[in-house]
Amino acid sequence: MTFDAAFDWARRHVQAERLPTAVVGMATADGIVDLEGFGAATDAVYPLFSITKVLTGITAARAIERGLLTPNTPLTDALPEFGGSRDDIVRLWHLASHTSGIAEPALDTAVPLRQELLTRGRDFAAGTASRYSTLAFEGIAALIEHATGTPWDAGTLAWAAEIGAIGLTLDAGRSVGVPDAAAGGLDLDRFHATRAPGAGLLGRAEDLLHLGTELLRIHRGSRDGILSPAGLDMMVRPLTGDIPRLDPYPPERGQDWGFTFNLRSRAPGLIDRDVYGHGGWAGTEFWVHPGAGVAWVLLTNAAVRPGVDADELDNAVIAGL
- Helix axis angle for 310-319 and 4-15, nearest 10°, is 150
pLDDT at 217: 98
d(CA 140, CA 110): 20
pLDDT at 246: 93
Question: Under the phi-then-psi rule, with left for phi > 0, alpha for psi from -120 to 50, and beta for the rest, what region is 278?
Answer: beta
> Over pLDDT 90: what percentage of the chain?
96
Give tens-digit pLDDT for 283-299.
999 999 999 999 999 99
pLDDT at 263: 97
Q: How many domains does the chain have?
A: 1
Helices (H), the chain: 4-15, 52-65, 92-96, 113-119, 136-148, 152-162, 188-194, 205-219, 229-235, 310-319
pLDDT at 46: 98
The answer on pLDDT for 260 being more than 90 is yes
pLDDT at 253: 83
pTM above 0.85, yes or no: yes
pLDDT at 254: 83
The answer on pLDDT for 276 being more than 90 is yes
Taking all residues of the chain, what is their mean pLDDT, rounded to a whole number?
97
pLDDT at 249: 84
Domain range enclosing 140 = 4-319
CATH number at residue 211: 3.40.710.10
d(CA 262, CA 250): 13
* Least confident span in 12-21, 170-179, 240-249: 240-249
